Structure formats: structure tokens, C-alpha cells
Chains A and B, each alone.
Chain A
Amino acid sequence: MYTNKFNIWFLSSLLISILVIIPITTVFFSFFEDTSRYFEILKETFLFEYILNSLILLIGVLVLTFILGVGSAYVVSFYEFPGANFFKWALILSFAIPPYIYAYSLFAFFDNYGTAFTILKNLFGEGEYNKYIPKFDDMFGLILSISFSLFAYVYILTRSAFLYQSQNLIELGKNLGFSKFKSFYSIILPAARPAIVAGLSLVAMETLAEFGAVDFFSVNTLTTGIYNAWITFDDLAFANRISFFLLLFIFILFLSENLSRKKAKFHLESKGGFKQKEKIILSGSKSFFAFLFCSIIFFLSFLFPLSQMLYWTIKFPENLFDINLTSLLINTLCLVLLSSIVLIIFALISNYGNRVSKNKILNVLSTLSISGYAIPGIILAVAFITFVAWFDENVIKALGFLSIKKIFIGSVLGLVIVYFIRFYSLAFNGIKSGYEKINLSVDESAYLLGYSKRKTFTNIHIPYLRNSILFVIILISLEIVRELPITLILRPFNFETLATTAYISASEDLLEAAAVPSLFLILIAAFFITITSKYILREK
């Protein structure tokens, strides 16, 4: 496509990409800085434990989300049974439960004299039930909490891959005389591999980034290590050095996935020949087991934590009045609104800049800039503070100006900037996938019909991308409502959101008090999920 290389769109895209890349490079360079002696102490004491725990957590969560996500996606995509249409939608509701809220529910339910104890007491009278109730307050509980909260990533992507598998592929298996299991194992599953891996990669990134649940169960991972280095040792360079290890972890994960896939092509471009899949109608015990399987996952992933929070809210209604719910809602929604506007505007400009410029450097920078999502919020927050501190010291003060730290650290502006970096890939990719549906010849036709680049952008692209924009706004909102570490680190003094209030109450061992903000958080998130479900689950 024609273009003047250095047009305004190119420059805007370049600027946006650089802005997002800064914290990432900050982490990288800080690895080579001197740290306090704490790093040496850590290296000799806990670093190995951090890495080992992160690894155990990662493997545990990946195995469980694979079983839950692929299993449920297979059942609802290939079989027809009572409630199949309901479960198709209901299973994504688990997105509304952040891992830390799941962790609170799990802990509270099985705790000594917790909800399970109360249920047993009400059913069977007084008794020594505590010793028979299993405890989920360690690594296993953490794996369960994260898995039930995140398996929907694998479910959604795998289901959409299963959905687009042609009936021809399945009939080919039958024709070759494969058993059902062999068809599943050697045709259906490998064909959906990129989607499954993509889902698992997202789960892996979220797991390594998880802070709330990990902190709640006091499992020492690299993420909590970063937080402790910064909060306990007040050592940013040290925090950054642990961040570097975590980034390395994520990078190896990406690389191994890419290498294992090589250039294998898993699905054909659809140029005809696609035959809509016919679902197998189940009856009798098979139908019952399919229903039971989905019901159990739905119950454990959504109804269980929701009921626990609802139960506490009803049981301790005074908590409803102890917190300023209106202010929490306004703060949360204000952050959602501001961040969404900024993200959408920048993602639109950057995408269009990339589209009209077709510049290789810009392409590389854009790819790097969307890696923000792979970087845990806690690292981004720390890196942002590092950068602002460095810039303030070396540039602003050196030029004789007043410190700008307060403008960016502990302010809504700082929060929005870091949200922007963290969720930029969501916005960028969301808009990009909308853009990919617009043939380049549409732009070229517009130019040939006399439309300028700006007019093509405003009159042709934006109206067409309306649905993608709406979808991205909802996704961003969902993420920001649930987001914890960035908000926790960068929020202004006395500025709380639903997530931070829940976290603070839980960390003060006031789980009952954490229930009210958690419940509202779940309800808002479930509302966002419900209105986007038609996009998430679209079949055509």
C-alpha cells in the first residue's frame, strides 16, 4: 500500500509503542544495576524456593486448567444434552471470580469452624468435624483457586477451535476406521492444539502474575518475592532483579511453545469445503454424566465462591454499612472509564498507524509493546515507579524543575498509565482483530474515491469497528475491576476500589468483611461477561 513513510499516523504509533515499551526495558536494564545485600541473602536462602514454588504452581495450574477447559469445551461442542446451551454460557462466568476471591471462599469454607463445619453441624448436630474436613490453605488450595478462576481461557479458545472443526475432519476419522477415542486423540485434539496452547499460555501468564491468592496462602513465589523486595526491603533494584527472572520464565515459555509448533499448519484457510459439525445427541446415562460433569465445573468455579460471599454478606449485614460502597463503586468505575477511553483511543491510532505505514520497525515495536500483558502487574508497577524516580532525579531535577513524582506515583494518572501498559495488548489485539476483517482494498478504494487518510479512519474504519470497540471496552473493564497489585501499589492515599478493599480486609484476617466488596466485584464482572458473552461465544 502506498504511503509517505513518516506520516503523522506512523509517528503516533511509534510514540505509543515506545511509551509502552519503557517499563519493559526498565526491568531489563535494572538487572545490571547494583542491588542491596538483600539480593545476596535471598540468593543463598529463598530464591530457589521462589523459583521452585512458581514452577510447581505453574505445572499444577496448567494440568488442571487443561483438564477442565478442554474437557468442558469438548463436551459442550460435540454433544447435545439437557442444559448444554446453558453450560456453554455459564462456564465462562468463572471469569467473574478473581483467584484471590476464590481463595478466600475456599479457605473459609474448609477452615476450622468454617462454612463446611456449620453445614455439618446444622445437618448432624455438634461434633468434632474439623479433623475430617480437608484443608486447602497451601499450594494445593492455591492451584485449585487459580485453576477454577482461569480455566475459562482454555475453555473459550478450545471451544471456538472445536466449533470450527469441519464435520469432514471427523468423518475422515470414521472413514479411516478410527475409534472415538482415537479420533479425539489423533484428529480433534491436534487440530485444536494452537487454541489450547494459546489458552494455556494466557493461563500461564496470569498464574505467574497472580498476586492476591498467592499472598493470601503465603506461598512464596517470584511474584510475592517482588512485592516483598519492594515493600519489606524497600529495594526497587532488587525487586526488578527478581522481575527479570520472572520475565525470563515467561519468555522461555513463549519460546518453547513457538519452537514446538515450528511451521506446522493446523487449520486450513476456509476456502469452501467447510461442513458444519453435527452434534451427537446423548441420551440415558451418557447424557446424565455430561450434565453432571458440566454442573460440577459450573458449581465449583462460579456458584461455590458466589454462594460463600453471599452467605457472609447475609450473615454479617453490618459489613454492608461499614464500607462506603458508593465510593468504592465510583472509584472502580471511574478507573474503568478513564482507562478504557485512553486505551481505545491509543489502540485505534496505533492500529491505523501500523496499517497505513507498513513499517517493519513499527511492527517489531508493536509486537514488543503488546508484551505488556505477559508482564505481571506487580512488575509493571515497580518498573513504572523505577522509571519515574529515575526520570525525576536525572532529568526533571537536573533541569531545575520541581519533582514530578507526586503526579505519577500514588495518583489516578499513574494508575491509568500502568493499566494502559498492562492492558494495551488487550485493546490493541481486540481492535486489530476487527481491522483484520477489513480488506486493505477497502482503504485503497476509499483513497481512490477521494477520502483522505483521516476521513478513511473516521468515516470508514471507526463506524465499522464499533462492535470490536465495545467488546474491547468490556474486556478492559472486566480486567480492571478484578485487577489488584497495580491498584494496590499505585493508588492514591485513601483511594480504594472493590478489589483493594477485599484484599485489605482479607489480609487483616477479616474474611467476612472481604465478602461485601468481593460480592459486588463478582456481580459487576458477571454483568460485563453476560453482555459480552454473545461475542465471546459467537458461532458464526
Chain B
Amino acid sequence: MSENFFEVNNVDFKIGGKTRVKNASFSIKNEGDIICLLGPSGIGKTTILRTISGLERISSGSITLNKKLLSSKSTHIEPEDRNISLAFQENSLFPHFNVEKNILAGTEKKINKKKIISPKEIIKILNLKNILNKYPHQISAGEAQRSSLARSLVSNPDLLLLDEPLSNVDQSFKEEIQVELKQLLSKFKITTIIVTHDSYEAFYLGSKCGIILNGQLKQYDDPYNIYHFPNSVEVVNFLNRGILIPAKVTGGDSLENDDLGIIKGKFIKHYPTGSKVKLLLQPEDLEHDDDSNLKLEVVDRKFRGTNFIYTLKTPSNNLIPVAVHTHHWEQHEVNEKFGIKRPIYIDHIVCF
């Protein structure tokens, strides 16, 4: 028997007879861990949550929680008999209950009462005090989402499933609530799976992240590894945080690109000298240097608060992103020349 707290083994996730995610496996090692599933809209992330909660059945593989088999081809524990809570993305509050009654409805489940999460505390943390007497149609989408989250939390679930929990929350409030949510989940040791399409949210909240693309779980790893060591071109494209440029491996720690010249660093994977590869260049990989003789043309500049992201055009028409701190005194306009520091050194070289 596996030592993992929660495990999905070779499951085809289906809805309405249609397979959305094929042959997926992932696990949560310890009780209280948070993982995130990341992927574009409509890819099947919600189907995974619905299946884990018992709202959908499986025809292959198995799902186990705390060493108990929940779903397999021949076993299906009904949703009301699993101690799993799912907070839906859309408003699923009981329309004729006010917010307070909705939240308290979460306390009715009699399965697991060992962890007692106080509704009062949750109401305070999620800033719901002022709307307790209101009905679902009288509150905003963000408030409805937080109320639904509160209801799920007070049910003391063994596993909490959150479907895009902050998608309707105002941007100004989002970061604050992310911090509080993470503290709350860790305080009460609530094992949680969060589905989101916001990579920053996933990287912040999850100790592990799964990337779902084209009906498959493409990568399941630490957020750092997902970001820096994506395992496929699809993951790179999905994260949209770098580009792939052609290069030729020139040694155990170097490669060469026609436009940028020699690039040094540590290869994540071994490639024989002379191999033609595609090198992943992320905005942080190259450094700006006004005095450098390697100059590229600026074709776009995006202001991102702490950084500018310059898009530079190489002589071979590749577009390369470079991040520069906004405190850098000299800003470069479109069509100007932009210097790249040499020699180029990248901590970890990712190639495909």
C-alpha cells in the first residue's frame, strides 16, 4: 500500500462519456499539503475535481484518500459519503439561504469532526462579516466565491477541492486573500487541490503543480522546477515565459547561437557536442548592458511594475524577451538599439 496521503493512479477523467484527461497519475504525499492543477480553460481541470469528489465515475485506474479506495472501475463511494469538499467556480450557494446559513450548512456533515474549524474565524479571515445577512443574489461574484469557500472550509474536509477559487476576487484583494488562504490551509492542515489558470497563483499556493495540456497531465513537479525546468515545448508555450531559439551544442557547458554567440551554463540534460537544439530563453536569462557591443533592436516594451520586458529582434528575426529593472536609469524606446551583456551565462540551460 502506498504511503501517500492522496493518490490518483492511471485514471481517465471523463465527463458525459468524453475523455477529458487521459491516464493521469499524481499524488499528495502528506496530509495538509496543497497542490495546484494548472491549464488553459476548458482542458478538463474541473472534471478532475468533480471525479475526485465523486460527482463523476471512473472506468479505469484508482483514486485513494488516506489509504481508503474512493473510486475504481468497481468501487464508487458516493459524494455525500466521502469527506471531500468542493468549492465550485460558479455560484453554488443555496439561493434561499442567507450567507450565514449557507456557511453553517457546511457544518452539518457528520463524517469527520476531529479538526474543528470555527465558522467565526473563517468569516473573519474571508472578510464576510458585513454580508452575513444578505442572500446570494444580493452579493457580488467575488463575495459569493468567498462565501462558498467558507462553507467548504467549515465542513472540515479530509480533502478540499477549490475550482478557480479567486477568479472573481478583485485584483487588489487577491494577493491578500492568497496569503490568508495559504496560512489558513496550513494552520488547519487541510489537504487541498486547487485548480487555476493563473500560473502565479499556482506557483504561490501549491507545493506541487500539475500542468494539464492537450488531455494529458504533462508535468507534475515543484513550482520552481515547472518554471525553470519545463519538460516539454508545450509547457514552455503554456507558461509563456520564454522563447525557443535555435542553437548548437559546442561542449559540456556551452552552446552557440548565430545571433547571440557563445552561451555558457549548466545543462539540465546532456546533449552530445554538435547537436542542434532549441534553447529556452526566459526574460531573466539575459542581462542588459548599455556598454555591450552586442546590440539588438527594440520592437516592444512592456511595463510590468518592477520590470520592463523588452522584446528584441535578432538579425535572424527571432524575438527575445529581456527583463530590466525599472530603476535602470536609461529607458530604451522602440527602434532603439539595446545592449546585451557578454559573456552570456545561464544558470540552467534547458533545451529541447
Measuring CB to CB, which residues of chain A are less than 8 angstroms from any residue of chain B? Answer: 1-2, 437-439, 441-442, 444-452, 460, 463-464, 466
Contact = CB atoms under 8 A, between A and B. Distances in A.
B96 A2 contact: no
B94 A441 contact: no
B194 interface: no
A470 to B, nearest CB: 14
B95 A448 contact: no
Interface stretch (B51-59, B60-68, B200-208, B237-245): B51-59
Contacts of A451: 80, 108
Interface stretch (B83-91, B178-186, B294-302): B83-91
A452 B80 contact: yes
A2 B79 contact: yes
Contact of B105 (A437, A441, A449, A463): A449
A441 B57 contact: no
B106 A449 contact: yes
B264 interface: no
B152 to A, nearest CB: 8
B92 A442 contact: yes
Nearest to B163: A441
Given A439-B91, A463-B96, A464-B96, A449 B85 contact: yes
Given A437-B95, A441-B90, A442-B95, A2 B80 contact: no
Given A448-B84, A448-B85, A449-B155, A442 B79 contact: no
Nearest to A464: B96
Interface of B: 50, 53-57, 76, 78-80, 84-86, 88, 90-96, 105-106, 108-111, 148, 151, 155
Nearest to A438: B95
Contacts of A450: 80, 108-111, 155
A2 B96 CA distance: 24
A444 B78 contact: no
Contacts of B105: 449
A402 B90 CA distance: 58
Contacts of B111: 450
14 contacts: A2-B56, A442-B94, A444-B50, A444-B86, A444-B88, A445-B92, A445-B94, A447-B54, A447-B78, A447-B79, A448-B53, A448-B54, A448-B85, A450-B155
A517 to B, nearest CB: 41
Contacts of A2: 54-57, 76, 78-79
Nearest to A452: B80
Nearest to B82: A448
List the 10 closest pairs (A to B, CB-CB), nearest first: A450-B109, A441-B92, A441-B88, A447-B79, A445-B92, A464-B96, A2-B55, A447-B80, A450-B80, A448-B79
B122 to A, nearest CB: 15
A408 to B, nearest CB: 40
Given A448-B84, A449-B151, A450-B109, A460 B94 contact: yes
Contacts of B85: 448-449
A235 to B, nearest CB: 50
Contacts of B54: 2, 447-448
A448 B86 CA distance: 7
A449 B92 contact: no
Given A449-B85, A450-B155, A464-B95, 17 more contacts: A2-B56, A2-B76, A438-B95, A439-B90, A441-B88, A445-B86, A445-B92, A447-B55, A447-B78, A448-B55, A448-B79, A448-B80, A449-B108, A449-B109, A450-B80, A450-B108, A460-B94
Contacts of A464: 94-96
A470 B148 CA distance: 29
A445 B147 CA distance: 13
Nearest to B102: A445
A446 B109 CA distance: 10
